[in-house]
Structures are given as C-alpha cells and as structure tokens.
Chain A
Amino acid sequence: MKFTLSWLRTHLDTDAPLADITDTLTRIGLELEGVDDPTAALASFRIAHVVAAVQHPNADRLRVCTVDTGDGIVSVVCGAPNARAGMKGVFAAPGSFVPGTNTTLRVGEIRGVRSAGMLLSAREMGLGEDHSGILDLPPDAPVGVPYVRWAGLDDPVIEVSVTPNRGDCFSVRGIARDLAAAGIGTLKPWQPARIDPQFHGGPRWRIDFPEACPWILGRTIRAVKNSPSPKWLQERLSSIGLRPINALVDVTNFFTVDLGRPLHVFDVARLTGDVLTLRRGEGETFRALNGNDYAATPEDCVIADAAGVQSMAGVIGGEQTGCDESTTAVFVECALFDPVRVALTGRRLQVVSDARQRFERGIDPALMPDALEAATAMILELCGGEPGEVTQAGAPPAWQRDATLRFSRVAAFGGSNIPADAAVQSLQRLGFAVRHLDTETITVAVPSWRNDIAAPVVLDQAPDLDPAVAARAAAGCAEIEPECDLVEEVLRLRGLDAVPPVSLPRAAPVPLPTLAPRQQRAEQMRRTLAAQGLAECVTFSFMAAADAALFGATPDALRLSNPIAADLDQLRPTPIATLALAAKRNAARGWPDVALFELGPEFAVDAPHGQALVAAGLRVGNTPRHWAAAARPVDAFDAKADLWAALAALGVPTDALTVAADAPGFYHPGRSGLVRQGPKTVLGSFGELHPRVLAALGMTGPVAAFALNLDAVPEPKRRRRAAPELPPFQPVRRDFAFLADAGVTADAVLRAARAAERTLIAGVSLFDVYAGDKLPEGKKSLGIEVMFQPRERTLTDAEIEAACQKVIASVVKATGAMLR
C-alpha cells in the first residue's frame, strides 16, 4: 500500500516528523516497506536572487552573476542564455551533489573568473528534461528557502505492507486512523453531504447470486463531460504509481486508495438494457479492461447486462462498457462482494487488481452509502452533470457485533501493565464505541471496518476428539477470541516492544533430556558417520523421477503434482540416490573421490506416514594416494565398515546379524549384502552400486554405498550391565587354514568355529582369504584365528589340542571344508 505524506495529511492532522510516522507504522503492524523521497537529494538547493549579471571578460557565452544565496553574496559563472540581473533561481553551493550531471560542485575558476556554485536547470536537478536555461522562478520566491519545499515537491511516498487481516488499512484513511490511535496527530472528520437526486431512472441492479454479493449500490450521473483529471488528482495518482486515465476512472481509483473503497464506472450508453445482474458465470468469455479475455465459470460472480458479462465482480471491469472521453452518462457501482469468492476468482484468473486486493480482505459495509456520495460529489465537481437517485439491490449485512475485554487479561495474556483507562482510550481512538464499562471489563461495539475483530468463529476440529472436549474447547474459543482481538489492539498501539520480556520459568530444577532416545541415536549416528571420514550432506527430498526409478519404486502417490522443476518431481526412494547425484556433481567439478553421508527421510507408500529415517552414505572412486600406502578403488567392504561402525554406535551386536545377498537391485548383485536382525527385520544394506545404475547416471565409479534404516533398529534396552569377566590367565591363540568350496561363506566358517566350544572360545577372526593357482579349481582357503580363554587354570597342551580338534571337526561338519 503506497501513499504520499500529503495525501495522508488530508486525513490526519499532524506535524509529526516523517521518521516518527514511519517508525510508528512499523511498530503498530503496518510494516514500512520503504520511503521514497525523490526530492531528498535536492534538499540543499535554495532559492537565490541574481543581483547582477555581467558579460564574462574572456568568454562570449558566459556571464558572471552576483548571487544572493540568502547566506551571503557569491560570484557564479553561468552559461545559461536566460541568466539575467534581478531573476530568482535555484542555487547549488560548492560541495553539493548535482544529480542531473552526476557531479559534486567545487569552487573553481572558469576562464580566469572565480565561480563558487551553480545556478541550476530543471534537468540538472533531475526534475525534467528542460535544459534551455536555468530555472526562472517568480519574483516573490523567497531567497534562502529550499527550492523543493517552496515548490511543494517534498512529498515522500510511503509504502507499507498491509497484513491480510487489515483490509481497513488498504486505505489512506484507515492508515490515518491507526496512526491517530497510536498518538500521531488526530483523524480529521469526514462526512460527505447527501446529494439529492435530480432525476429518476437509469440502470438498476438485480442480484441472482446473493452468496457472492449481498448488497450493491449504484447511481447514474448524466450529462457529464469526461476529460483528463485536474492536475492535483493526476499528481496524486501518479505519485503512487497509478496512471491517470480520465476523470471518471481516476475518481474510482482515487477512492479505492483514499477510502479503501473500490468503485467501478459503467458508460451507460454502452450498456444493453437497463438491468445489471449479478449472477454466476455461464462459461462465457469477456474482455477485461487490461485487454485480456477471461472465461467466467459458475463459481465466479459476474455483472451482466442484456448483452452478456460486463465485469468480473470485485476483480476487474470490462473493456466494452468502460468510460472514456466520449462518455456522457455514467453508472457508478459501489458493491459488497464476498471476500473468499473474489479471492478464488482472482487467483484462478491470476488478476491482481487494487479492487481484488481490497475486496478479498473485506471492505467496510457501512461506508458504502457515504462513499457513493463522496464519489458522486467528486464526479460532479470534475465532470459536471446531474446526479440520479441511488439504486440498490440486496441489503446491508448484519455486521454489528460486540466484544468484551477483562482488563486483567491485558497483563495475564498480553504480559503488559497498560492501565485500564489507557486501554479504553486506545480502543475509542480506533473507533470502538463503548457499550459498557466498569472497573473490571469493557464491552465495545466493533467498528464496521474491522472485520478482523470478533469475527465469526470458524473451527475445523480434529475429527476424533471426544465430543464433550471438542464442545468445551469450541465454547472457550468463542468466548476468548474477541478478547484476544482487543488485547492485541491495545498492545499493538503501545507497541509490542513495550511489553516487558520475562524469561521462561524453569520446568524442572535441571532440564530433562531434550532428545527422545530415538533422536539421541540419530545424533550419535551423525557423529559416528562423520568420524568415519564421511562429510555430511543435506540433499533434496525430491529428485527426477527417471533417476529415482534407478533406485527403487517411484509410485505416482509420491510424485509431486506441481514440481518446481522437472528434475525435482519424485520423492526419493533412498538418500543413496541423491547422494550419488551429489557425488556426480563433485566429480564434474574435479573432485571425483568423495565420501558423503546424509541422515534424512526416504519415502515409500507402505512406510508409516510414508517415510523412514535413514542414514546413508557412499564412498566414490579411490582411497587417497599416499607415499606409504597405495591408493585402491573403494569397494563393498568400505561401505560395510561404515555400516558396521554405525550399527555398533547404536549398540547393535553385529555378530548376531545375518548378511544375505538379496540387497536392493541398485546394488551390484554379487557385491552387496542385505543386513537383517533376526529372521525378518531388515536393518540396512551395503555394497557397490550396480554398473548399469552407474552408467545410467553417467558416473564412472566405483561407488560403495550403505543405508541403515534407523526406524528399524530396536530401541536399546536400558539394562544394568553385568560385571566384566577378567580372567587372570592368558588367552591362547591358534591359527587354522581351511580349504573350502568357493561357495562357502566366511560367516559359515566363523560361526562353526565359534560354536565348537562355547565356553572356551572367546573369539574367532578371519585373517586370510586366498583363492588362486595354488589351490584346486573352485576352492578357496580361509585362515582363521581362534582365541581360547581359560578361566580356571592355565590350559595344558593336551587340552588345547583337544579344543583345536573340536574346532576343526565343527568347521568340517558345517561347511565341508578341510583343514589345509
């Protein structure tokens, strides 16, 4: 919402400095967007008197002027043909900046004559194109006074952002009222005189769509002469960026801004028939004032004459029946339209108009008759003519309502100690009329322009609430909401900044844990993965559907209906997908070997709420090159190590997990594993990405990735740990090498070895895997170390030997392997 200071002063009697006004606007919720004072740069230029002007001794075209600046007499060399003794002009002193020439003035010598300043042309001040000579002011122009103030050009344009609840402040008068209530000046009275009709007849209204238009007024004014508006009106509109069109149209635009009261003018001669009907659209197309064609649906309210749609109610008028300079009879529309319907129509048609902006926030229903009188008066003044009678359809809606405030609530809810009488004053200044007042409460009548106060309560309560609970809450809302509205008004005018801050009282002597166990685990996971050397990323939850399809299901239910870009349309099936794209981008920048992870959602229709929290990571390319260790390509076991570290950090006993080769299809089928806890629960997966996936993504790889579903990991049990077993006897370690079929898994061998002697064997580890020339075809050798831990006494050689035989027997039996 834009307005000028002078426009504001037509409604507000104030001498307050501009800064006070703008600070107050921001404080009371009309946030200042900007002040544009095009003349601020000219403030130092003052009116001066040219006392004498003589020919420059060394230049034909220059004159040496003796100038009285009001601050002394100076000599100025001037090249303007109109410079002459006795004239009044505008003087720029040395040191000032001249916007038209983009220079800062200095005292100088021009062809041997000293020049201490400059007499300015309009163009040099940036006030026009005229550069034929210096500004020639009337003889009574006061010397020494800033030119822009004398010329009335110092009228800053103020722009505020009006919140959706304050339709009343989409008007200069509404802003003036709020400022006055906040202590800036006083609101000037405004009451247009009633204009008696001089004839009957003219177009009439008919409402066939009362939900969209409960009440509408109109008046015909005939014998008007439409022409360009007078200068003051043109300037007023131009100052806030509106283009003056002709007097009739300019009057409607003026009141739209001045009173927040959109009006529309029909050229009576261009209407067909004498009834204007408010009805639903019937699919017809009409051409609007902006030259575009729009189709009217049954959900849109249109204004139609016998020939068809002539206006989209509250949104935009029609080209066909608009007023131009040939108009001699005008029909003025002053309507009340349903805000929601205007908003929906405007949004659907994508028309942003000053009328829509105001109607969709709700306009003052009580203002309509007065606004029509004021508009009539201005039309008569600018265009002459004879006013007809006011015609109307529908009826004013019942907007009257009361609201009650318990003064104690200003402190108990608002936290402010504003005294009761100050609160009463604030409300009165805002236009609330006192209906009842005692020491505890005040009941006020809400002014017609404040549709945001004590509005009808619309609830949409949670469907599964206990009906009694729901009813009590609804009743409470109906009781409390108007009071909250009034508390807000009282606080707002004083400034919420004035409410004393109070620190939150402690809920417990020492705060309880902030994170739930699940959240704690996620944080530990984040730190653990970063400590593995992975860099944490945050990638988008959505990606291109085609890329997502490489990584899993891409159901339509998880595809955005209105993606911002074609490559951001599908919710990702796994963060590995977006991490792979991140790695690809890094490679394209010349950083092919990265290790990344992310903790974030993956989406699937069958997951609870459609998503699961996943820790995923990947390593790409080669391990770092180093003088002491050769670089090697990353592989599945790098990913498995990351996954195992993650699981260990969560307290998952990795020995008890099973790994099978049925990992998701985006992994290399022979170089990946699916990790389960128990028979069913899938905790995660790891492996190298499938070469086809890499090719489809345009990546070279290798890429080793893992994913861990944090939601699948059971919450750790809070058990007290048993005391550790710390036997005083040294463990005995023995190595075994088994020759096994290539298909025998390491896991099978290790499990069999461990199972051989539950009490004595404290650990089994694999230290060697070999397959090659020295072994028979289809065989491999697995070297394992078994650690025996005696508990009672040192083991004898015979006992160790017996235990070793058990290990061998167990492995042979379970896997068919042979001791090498």
Chain B
Amino acid sequence: MTDDLQALQAETTAALAAATDLRGWDAIRIAVLGRNGRLTALLRDMGKTPAEQKRERGAALNRLKDALTDAIELRRRALESAELDVRIAAEGIDPTLPPRPRETGLIHPISRTIEEIAAIFGAMGCTIAEGPDVESDWYNFTALNIPPHHPARADQDTFYLPAQDNRPPPVLRTQTSPVQIRTMLTQPPPIRVIVIGRTYRADHDATHSPMFHQCEGLVIDRAMTLGHLKGTLIDFLRTFFGQPDLPVRFRASYFPFTEPSMEVDIGWNRRTGELGKGDDWLEILGSGMVHPRVLANCGIDPREWQGFAWGMGVERVAMLKHGITDLRPFFESDIRWLRHYGFNPLAPTMLHEGV
C-alpha cells in the first residue's frame, strides 16, 4: 500500500475514533466516501494511474475502500449505541407510578349466583322460563292450589296493585311459581325448566327483603318419581356448594302446590357457619311432587304426567356460599360492598371451568 493510502487509512481511523457523535461521524463519512471525498477522489484518479500500476493500485484501493467502509459502519453502530444508551439513561420512568385508570366493573353476586344455578340445572337439561313481576291472582295463587282464605294471601305477605275491571287485584308475584303455570299452559310435557327472578313480599329486616329472588324448578314427565326429585336436588346442592359429600336431608312438609312436599336441609355448623361440617341442619329448599290439582288446572292429566318442583332463595344460597351474613346490602348498591363481593365479568360461570 502506498503512503497516500496508508495516510488516508490512518487519518480516517483516527478521525473516527475522535468523533463523539453521529454528526461528526457523518462529516468523516462524507469527507472520505462522499462525492468529493478523499477516497472517491483517489478512485476517480485511477484513470491517471500508469497502466502497469493500475492492477496493483486498483486492488489496493478496493481493499482500502472495504476497510474504510467497514470502519465507518462499525463506528456508526458504536456511536448509535452510545447515543441510545444516553437516551435510555435520560428517559427512565418511575415504574412504581400507578397506571392509567381503566375502571373495571363487576357482576352482582345475585347475578353470579343465578348464572351458577342456571349452569348446573342447564347441564341437567333445564331451560329458563320467564314471567312478569306483576301477576294475576289466578297465576300467583289460585292455579297453584292456594285457596282464597290461605294465609299466604293475607295483606301482610302480598303486595297488591289496584284492581281493574272487577277482577281480583293484581299482585307483585310472591314466588316464581306462577311461571310454572305459564310454562305448563304454553308448552306440552315433557318439561324441564327453571325460573329465576324477582319476587316480592311485605317483610323487611336482616333476613327478609320486600324484594328478593327465587329460583324455581319444574320437571314433568311420565315417570319422574320422588327419587328423581331427591337426586336432582342433591346433585345440584353438592355441585353448587362444591362439596361432593355435602349432607342433604329431606323432611316431610306441606306446600299447597306439591304433594308429597319436602323441606330440604343441608348439614352445617351453626356456630361457625361452615357448610358440610358440624351436626346442625339448615333449611335451604322447598320441594315436592307437583300436586295433581296444579297439573289439572293447567289441563295436564295427572294420570299421564307427573313430576316435581322446587324453589329456593337466590340470596340465601349466595349468602351461604360466600359467607354473607346480612341480606339488606344486596339491594343497597353500596359501591364498597359491591367491590368486595362482586365478580369479574370476564370470568363467567362455565361448567368446564368449574362453578
């Protein structure tokens, strides 16, 4: 390599090393490789080189060009990297600062409980039937074999609306059972439905609310026995409370719309409130074989069809499942309570994820 080439290489290397930023670096690049750069000039001057030296000088120039290009590029990367380091050092944040607010909402425990109930009975083949909150006397009482003098019709239990056109006054449904009647009148058996909705009774304290939710079930088929009723409810309760061995007890009782009627208790510890443990029993459900009069009132021949029905308080099972002790906050909409007991809307009840 001739002196001039060596000088160029040495000077360029030194200049690159001295460059502290990309602007200085770019000046060097242009001074060497630019249109008027020194190397460009040397390449341009190749024409003047004597023919016998051309080959050798050409090869030397090419080597020099490769070397300088690499050196310049290397230096660019180094400078860029150094600049990035400086920027990164300067633009740090306090990662402990709170993120931008993105309020998450939540699902009310009543809705969540309804979802869970629907999922479990749904897996048993039930669909959901619905009916109005304002009911006629016939649907809410008479058709269900609750005669006019029955204490359930007394003013102190039932909310009445003004009577219209000489008909008995409409009521706010006291139970979800009228939807049983609506279902039997619109859908031929076999029937498997549950009804979940608002119900109303004139009572207000820590364990009673003038509005609450009931879940009602109705299964009508040709060969549904009291054994199926028991199996259905035991299966439900054990799944719902997540206790495969939950003790369940059936006691003879009376409801006008079922016969035989049974109250259903689950085992718990009265002192600690723990379910499935202890020697106490807690009443949780009413149930029974559908009364033949109820079937007949709906035009279903009880010689051909039989079945069972049950009803339970949604808030009650929610309270037991989640250890909530007071009923009133369910309807109070206290944001603190809602945040405490509410559920993630993006984690709905799915049987394959577990209820």
A564 to B211, CA, bound (A): 11
Interface residues of A, Cβ cutoff 8 Å to B: 26-29, 31, 163-166, 339-340, 343-344, 347, 360, 411-416, 457-462, 465-466, 469-470, 472-477, 479-481, 484-485, 487-488, 491-492, 495-497, 499-508, 511-516, 519, 523, 526-542, 556-565, 568, 571, 579, 582-583, 585-586, 589, 591, 594-597, 599-601, 603, 609-611, 623-624, 626-629
B143–A344 contact, CB under 8 A?
Answer: no
The chain A residue sitting closest to B144, CB to CB, is A460
Among B169, B231, B336: residue with most chain A CB under 10 A: B231
Q: Which residues of A contact B253 (CB under 8 A)?
A: 29, 31, 163
CB distance from B224 to the nearest CB of A (A): 8
Are B138 and A460 closer than 8 Å at their CB atoms?
Answer: yes
| Chain B residues whose CB sits within 8 angstroms of the CB of A564 once the complex forms | 159, 202-204, 210
The smallest C-beta distance from B57 to any residue of chain A, in angstroms, reads 49
Q: Which residues of B contact A459 (CB under 8 A)?
A: 293, 296-297
The 3 lowest CB-CB distance pairs between A and B, nearest first, are: A415-B227, A514-B122, A29-B252
Instruction: Determine whether B51 belongs to the interface, using a CB cutoff of 8 Å to chain A.
Output: no
B-chain residues with CB within 8 Å of residue A563 when the two chains form the complex? 159
A531→B107 CA distance, assembly (Å)? 9
* CB of B232 within 8 Å of the partner chain: yes
- Within the complex, which residue of B203, B262, B333, B348 is in contact with A523, where a contact is CB–CB below 8 Å? B348
A-B contact pairs, 5 of them (CB 8 A): A500-B230, A511-B124, A538-B111, A557-B164, A627-B98
CB-CB under 8 A from A415, the residues of chain B are 225-230
Given A461-B297, A501-B227, do A514 and B118 touch, yes or no (CB 8 Å)?
yes
Query: Within the assembled complex, what's the spacing in Å between the Cα atoms of A561 and B225?
Result: 42
**A538 to B330, Cβ gap below 8 A?**
yes
Is the pair B123, A562 in contact by a Cβ cutoff of 8 Å?
no
In the complex, what distance in Å separates the CA atom of A599 from the CA atom of B111?
Answer: 10
CA distance A561 to B156 in the complex (A): 12
In-complex Cβ contact of A626 among B101, B142, B169, B302 (8 A): B101
Q: B155-175: which residues lie under 8 A (CB-CB) from chain A?
A: 155, 159-162, 164, 169, 172
B235 touches A556 (CB 8 A): no
Evaluate contact between B226 and A413: CB separation under 8 angstroms.
yes
Closest chain B residue, CB of each to CB of A532: B105
Interface: B76 (CB within 8 A)? no
Complexed CA–CA distance, A488 and B258 (Å): 11
Which among A504, A519, A586 is the interface contact of B235 at CB below 8 angstroms? A504
Instruction: Give the A-binding residues of B (Cβ under 8 A).
Output: 97-98, 100-108, 110-111, 115, 118-119, 121-128, 130-134, 138, 142-143, 147-151, 154-155, 159-162, 164, 169, 172, 181, 185, 190, 192, 198, 200, 202-204, 210-211, 219, 223, 225-232, 234-235, 249-254, 256, 259-260, 262-263, 289, 291-293, 295-304, 306, 330-336, 338-339, 342, 345-346, 348
> Given A470, A512, A534, which contacts B105 in the complex, CB threshold below 8 Å?
A534
Contacts of A457 in B (CB 8 A): 293, 296
In angstroms, Cα B134 to Cα A541, docked, is 11
Contacts of A480 in B (CB 8 A): 292, 302-303
Interface centre among B125, B227, B234, B330 (most CB of A within 10 A): B227
A473, B299: Cβ atoms closer than 8 Å: yes
Select which of B105, B159, B333, B336 is within 8 A of A533 by beta carbon: B105
Q: Which residues of A contact B336 (CB under 8 A)?
A: 589, 591
In contact, A629 and B302 (Cβ under 8 angstroms): no
Of the residues A504, A508, A535, contact of B228 by C-beta under 8 Å:
A504
State the Cβ distance, A471 to closest chain B Cβ, in Å.
10
Name the CB-closest residue of B to A629. B100
**Option from B172, B225, B260 in Cβ contact (under 8 Å) with A502:** B225
Cβ-defined partner of A27 (8 Å) among B98, B229, B252, B331: B252
Known contacts A480-B302, A530-B105, A626-B98: A611-B132 contact under CB 8 Å: yes
Q: In whole angstroms, how far apart are the Cα atoms of A568 and B125 in the complex?
A: 38
Tell whether, in the assembled complex, residue B147 and residue A458 are in contact, meaning their CB atoms are under 8 Å apart. Answer: yes
Residues B134 and A571 in contact, CB atoms below 8 Å apart: yes
Question: Are the C-beta atoms of B105 and A586 separated by less than 8 Å?
Answer: no
Q: What is the bound-complex CA distance between A505 and B223, given in angstroms?
A: 11
Looking at the assembled complex, report how far the CB atom of B35 sits from the nearest CB atom of chain A, in whole angstroms: 32
In the complex, what residues of A have CB within 8 A of residue B295's CB?
473, 476-477
Contact A488/B259 with A340-B149, A501-B227, A540-B331 known, Cβ cut-off 8 Å? yes
- Minimal beta-carbon separation of A301 from chain B (angstroms): 14
Q: Hey, which chain B residues are within 8 Å of A481, CB to CB?
A: 259, 291-293, 302
Bound Cα distance A528, B330 (Å): 21
Docked-complex contact B161 and A514, CB < 8 angstroms: no
> When the two chains form the complex, which single residue of B262, B297, B338 contacts A462, counting CB atoms closer than 8 Å?
B297
Q: Are A527 and B348 in contact (CB under 8 A)?
A: yes
Smallest beta-carbon distance B196→chain A, Å: 10
With both chains docked as a complex, state the minimum distance between the C-beta of B29 and any C-beta of chain A, in angstroms: 34
Give chain A residues whose Cβ lies under 8 Å from the Cβ of B185.
Answer: 462
Kindly identify which residue among A165, A497, A504 contacts B249, using a CB–CB cutoff of 8 Å: A497
A350 to chain B, nearest CB (A): 10
- Whether A511 pairs with B125 at a CB distance below 8 angstroms is yes
Residues from chain B with a CB closer than 8 A to the CB of A600 are 198
Within 8 Å by CB of B338, from A491, A526, A535, A557, lies A535
Q: Which residue of B lies closest to A26 (CB)?
A: B251
- A793 CB to nearest B CB, Å: 38
**Neighbouring B residues of A591 by C-beta, 8 Å:** 335-336
Establish whether residues A535 and B335, one from each chain, have CB atoms under 8 Å apart when the complex forms: yes
Q: Are A537 and B338 in contact (CB under 8 A)?
A: yes
Contacts of A596 in B (CB 8 A): 333, 335
> How many angstroms between the C-alpha atoms of A360 and B150 in the bound complex?
10
- Are B335 and A586 in contact, with the CB atoms below 8 A? yes
B105→A561 contact, CB < 8 A: no
- Knowing A496-B251, A504-B125, A511-B123, the reply to whether A479 touches B342 (Cβ < 8 A) is no
Closest to B336 in A: A591
Contact partners of B231 in chain A: CB under 8 A: 501-504
Q: Which residues of chain B have C-beta atoms less than 8 A from A559's C-beta?
A: 161-162
Which of chain A's residues has its CB closest to B262's CB?
A496
A499-B229 Cα distance, complex, nearest whole Å? 10
Q: Is the CB of B249 within 8 A of A473?
A: no
Contact A473 B301 (CB under 8 A): yes
Contact partners of A529 in chain B: CB under 8 A: 105
CB nearest to B229 among chain A residues: A415
Q: Which residue of B lies closest to A536 (CB)?
A: B108
One of A474, A538, A556 near B296 (C-beta < 8 A): A474
Task: Please tell me which one of the listed residues A466, A507, A611 contacts residue B133 in the complex, with CB atoms under 8 A apart.
Answer: A611
Cross-chain contact B226 with A512 (CB below 8 angstroms): no
- B225 and A514 contact, CB distance less than 8 A: no
From the candidates B101, B131, B232, name the one contacting A624 in the complex (CB within 8 A).
B101
| Of A466, A564, A582, A624, most B-chain CB atoms within 10 Å | A564
CA distance A519 to B197 in the complex (A): 12
* Pair A499/B299 contact, Cβ less than 8 Å: no
The answer to whether B293 touches A610, judged by C-beta atoms less than 8 angstroms apart, is no
Give the contacting residue for B292; candidates A484, A565, A610, A627; CB below 8 A.
A484
Contact B225 A538 (CB under 8 A): no
* A411:B225 contact, CB within 8 angstroms: yes
Q: Is B298 in contact with A28, judged by CB distance below 8 angstroms?
A: no
B348 CB contacts on chain A under 8 angstroms: 523, 527
Residues of B within 8 A of A502 (CB): 225, 227-228, 230-231
Known: A481-B293, A506-B125, A541-B211. A536 touches B335 (CB 8 A): no
